[in-house]
Structure 1
Amino acid sequence: MCIDSFEKQDRLPIEKVFKDPVHDYIHVRHKLILDLIDTKEFQRLRRIKQLGTAQFTFHGAEHSRFSHSLGVYELSRRIVDMFERNYPDDWDCSMRLVTLCAALLHDVGHGPFSHTFEKIFNTDHESLTTDIILSEGTEVNTILKRVSHDFPNQVASVITKQHPNPQVVQLISSQIDADRMDYLQRDAFFTGATYGAFDLSRILRVIRPYKDGIAFQYQGMHAVEDYIVSRFQMYMQVYFHPASRGMEVTLDRLLYRAKQLYKEQELYPAFDLLDPFFEENPTLDDYLKLDDGVLQTAIILWTESDDAYLSELSKMFLHRKPLKSVTYIDGKDDDVVETLRDIVGHLTYDKNLYTMTNSSSDLPYDYKLKNKTPIHLMQSDGTLVELSKVSSIVKTLSGNLHGDHRLYVPKEFLEEHSDNINMFQEEYDAFQRHIVNGAIIHPNETD
């Protein structure tokens, strides 16, 4: 095992461990890693939930970006240790520290309810991650520069997939990487979705480096196959759950309304920490002040807003009374979707605030995409074969988008025994004529 002068000097006298419910112990041997964990930028991740609005569907999903980031670091450490023991001729051991730092910091730029927040306020967590790594004012940047002045750039290049070593990049970001392996196992554990589990120990046994990246020994094919299927199941059953998306849509609409009111100088109560985002000129310092608690505090205040829409949407989110959905076929049902939105808008609802379409789709695996590295299996003679060529299960899932398209509306339009139906029976009946069993009836089906 090769150790450069900095790494030797940086070793802790006794390794530090973090007890983890998924990986048992997380081992830290480098003072640099421990100091990065202790930075204010990384500690902020304790206050950001990993699964955003999914916590309102799966009540156990209270885990944080902090614990996930530690998990990605730990898996990367185990893989690098194994590479150094078993494949010293194929793995450049000088890549150890940059790999571990990139693994630890890969999500440091995430914000509160990240994907919804990003859409409304035009932020991007990946760009913010590199900003945190590269900006001289951050504690993360100061610590990384202890290795060398250029070391922050090296770590950032792994995040942006521009690092010259493809093995390092693929360990952190590929179709089977330390990031995905941790969040699938972690999210399955905390949501209770046991079908998200896969044989992680076997995958860590058969993963190996080669000249152009990362491969897996052929005899480990079924473990990799299991990972692909588990990923598919988690997206369909957890990440794309209609109720979680309903909470996300409700949050989206209330933030949209708050932004409208701010621009009209009618937002009350005001919330200074969000002003730079409403004005669309936030600094990195502004962003780092945000977490889930900050955003939820704003929403609590807005329940007392003078604006009836913002107040009602805020209460719907806080009290878990989200907009409800019907499924539809993308494109073919556009006219019906607009008809249904108009029906909602005919009442006292604002259809732009109380209706919204939401599409979720995912490729479980694809070997054709230019920006995706195929999963390769290494045969006994050293030749590579792409996974879907030898796995009929993966071939079936490969290249096909899976997910659905949903129209979200106030729940009164979908609940047969709602107390409010009598107040708008005509509109309710008109709405119901276009749906059956929770799905929009395509016009051709009513001919």
Structure 2
Amino acid sequence: MKINNQALPMEKVFRDPVHNYIHVQHQVILDLINSREVQRLRRIKQLGTSSFTFHGAEHSRFAHSLGVYEITRQICDIFKRNYSIEKIGPDGWDDSQRLVTLCAALLHDVGHGPYSHTFEHIFNTDHEALTVAIITSPETEVFQILNRVAEGFPEKVASVITKTYPNQQVVQMISSQIDADRMDYLLRDAYFTGTEYGTFDLTRILRVIRPYRGGIAFSINGMHAVEDYIVSRYQMYVQVYFHPVSRGMEVILAHLLDRAHELFHEDNQLFEYHSQFLKPFLKGKFTLEDYLRLDDGVLNTYFSQWISEKDLILSDLARRFLDRKPLKSITIDSVDNPNLPIMRDLVEKAGFNPNYYTAINSSYDLPYDFYRPEQGRHRTQIELMEKDGSLVELSKASQLVAALAGQGQGDARFYFPKEMIQKDPTNLFEDYYQAFSSHIHNGALAK
């Protein structure tokens, strides 16, 4: 199959606060960046509701996608220079794989929607499936650009996203426990949230990364740089991604969309004169074109309109979200804690619908895990390469990583209105305030 691998007459660069310059050397990459579907990512925040906690975190999925592309481009250059098939044989890098790898890196998040994961949960969308649809649907600009490279090329790029592409070096460069995606978002999110502990030595990791026949490995003399990456990931999840205030805003957002969903099914004329782009999702029947119309700004505009709606719950939740009034929370030892129904009952007696003003939110993640055959699922573990070419799994060589491996991090929290613990000068909530506060102060919900 002949590949149209047209190079630009002179490389283009994008100035970037994390990588200094993003280097674009192929016409297809520049065309993809300028496509409608990729430009939409400028209007979707990378960190969703985290910007309500870390005010600098206004960066977009567009910037992240460029960053993943740039790290991938650098890896391809290193592999070609030091580890090509011509130099080291079958374990080496075949540079004919470069273009499909770069396209997949740039497009890996193109299917994300507004407030990605919360929206997915409410409307049962799947950003990975939508990424594949955008890449392989003839009506998209992305497909048309990729199809000019070669017939069947869009499907090849999509197979990298779904991890079915036969070359595991390509797949693991984009999706593994230490890939270009994670490396960029950790550095980028740390930069924009101002959290220095999220940084790690990318230069050193790129120095020790290398291909082998089964995928990607790291020279064992670079183990400490990989350890640094694992610890940075651990810190970012604990301090940023699982921050209780960000999750409190997520709960408000989820309840707001839930309420709109419920009201629409009670009266589908409710949003007759506004919120038109959201109606296909409220109906549960949407097209790819419907999905591509949505971004954070569209939803925020609808939330502003909902403040004026007659339904008091919808109006209040919209106001709380736009004005940054998160629900408060306390850690709980179990979702079956016998005090939770009591707390929900107190919230209801104070005048709040507990279905929309309380929530149990659990957030857990593994900083690193190794392959466990008994679990019956594939996991790409991090491999270190000895000088003789043999491989050792990371946690077998690193005591630090062994201590973190397989250990879930995060917590479960019970969310409730701030009014339940805030002294009310009108005394409207006084009785409930006293009862609710006593449960919290006595440690009734947590260990």
TM-score range, shorter chain: over 0.9
1:38 matched residue in structure 2:
34
- The amino acid across from 2:283 in the alignment is E
Shift of residue 36 of structure 1? 0.4
Following superposition of structure 1 onto structure 2, how do residues 118-133 of structure 1 map, counting pairs within 5 Å?
118-133=120-135
2:88 matched residue in structure 1:
none
CA distance, structure 2, for counterparts of residue 279 and residue 440 of structure 1: 41
Shift of residue 270 of structure 1? 3.6
CA distance, structure 2, for counterparts of residue 35 and residue 402 of structure 1: 41
SS at structure 2 position matched to 1:215: strand
Correspondence for 1:12 among 8, 13, 18: 8
Answer yes or no: is 1:55 the counterpart of 2:51.
Answer: yes
1:425 matched residue in structure 2:
430
Following superposition of structure 1 onto structure 2, how do residues 36-435 of structure 1 map, counting pairs within 5 Å?
36-89=32-85, 90-265=92-267, 267-268=270-271, 270-333=274-337, 335-369=338-372, 370-415=377-422, 417-419=423-425, 422-435=427-440
Shift of residue 418 of structure 1? 4.0
Q: Alpha carbons of 1:92 and 1:255: their partners in 2 closer, same or farther (altered >3 Å)?
A: same
Structure 1 runs of 4+ aligned residues shifted over 4 Å read: none
Shift of residue 332 of structure 1? 4.9
- The amino acid across from 2:219 in the alignment is Q
Q: Considering only aligned residues, what root-mean-square deviation do their CA atoms show, in Å?
A: 1.4
Shift of residue 271 of structure 1? 1.2
- The amino acid across from 2:194 in the alignment is G
- The amino acid across from 1:12 in the alignment is L
Shift of residue 147 of structure 1? 1.6
TM-score (norm 1): 0.95
Do the aligned residues in 2 keep the contact of 1:258 with 1:267 (CA within 8 Å)? Answer: no
For these two proteins, the number of residue pairs brought into alignment is 434
Shift of residue 427 of structure 1? 1.7
CA distance, structure 2, for counterparts of residue 423 and residue 331 of structure 1: 29
- The amino acid across from 2:409 in the alignment is H
Shift of residue 246 of structure 1? 0.5
- The amino acid across from 1:368 in the alignment is Y
Do the aligned residues in 1 keep the contact of 2:335 with 2:360 (CA within 8 Å)? Answer: no
Do the aligned residues in 2 keep the contact of 1:326 with 1:440 (CA within 8 Å)? Answer: no
CA distance, structure 2, for counterparts of residue 436 and residue 362 of structure 1: 29
Q: Alpha carbons of 1:353 and 1:214: their partners in 2 closer, same or farther (altered >3 Å)?
A: same
CA distance, structure 1, for counterparts of residue 341 and residue 409 of structure 2: 24
Superimposed CA distance per residue, residues 269-313 of structure 1 (whole angstroms, 9 cap, x where no aligned partner): 641111100000010000000000000000000011111111111
CA distance, structure 1, for counterparts of residue 158 and residue 149 of structure 2: 14
- The amino acid across from 2:182 in the alignment is R
CA distance, structure 1, for counterparts of residue 306 and residue 58 of structure 2: 24
CA distance, structure 2, for counterparts of residue 114 and residue 363 of structure 1: 21
SS at structure 2 position matched to 1:297: helix
- The amino acid across from 2:391 in the alignment is L
Do the aligned residues in 1 keep the contact of 2:420 with 2:429 (CA within 8 Å)? Answer: no
Identity between Structure 1 and Structure 2 (%): 60
SS at structure 2 position matched to 1:6: coil
SS at structure 2 position matched to 1:359: strand
CA distance, structure 1, for counterparts of residue 286 and residue 327 of structure 2: 30
CA distance, structure 1, for counterparts of residue 368 and residue 169 of structure 2: 19
Superimposed CA distance per residue, residues 27-46 of structure 1 (whole angstroms, 9 cap, x where no aligned partner): 00000000000100000000
SS at structure 1 position matched to 2:392: strand
SS at structure 1 position matched to 2:428: helix
Answer yes or no: is 1:436 the counterpart of 2:441.
Answer: yes
CA distance, structure 2, for counterparts of residue 332 and residue 230 of structure 1: 33
Shift of residue 412 of structure 1? 1.2
CA distance, structure 1, for counterparts of residue 140 and residue 175 of structure 2: 24
- The amino acid across from 2:349 in the alignment is H
Q: Alpha carbons of 1:91 and 1:440: their partners in 2 closer, same or farther (altered >3 Å)?
A: farther
CA distance, structure 2, for counterparts of residue 304 and residue 99 of structure 1: 48
Shift of residue 435 of structure 1? 1.7
Gaps of 5+ in 2: 86-91
Superimposed CA distance per residue, residues 185-243 of structure 1 (whole angstroms, 9 cap, x where no aligned partner): 00000000000000000001100000100000000000000000000000000000000
CA distance, structure 1, for counterparts of residue 12 and residue 69 of structure 2: 14
- The amino acid across from 2:168 in the alignment is P
CA distance, structure 1, for counterparts of residue 220 and residue 136 of structure 2: 40
Shift of residue 433 of structure 1? 2.8
2:89 matched residue in structure 1:
none
SS at structure 2 position matched to 1:244: helix
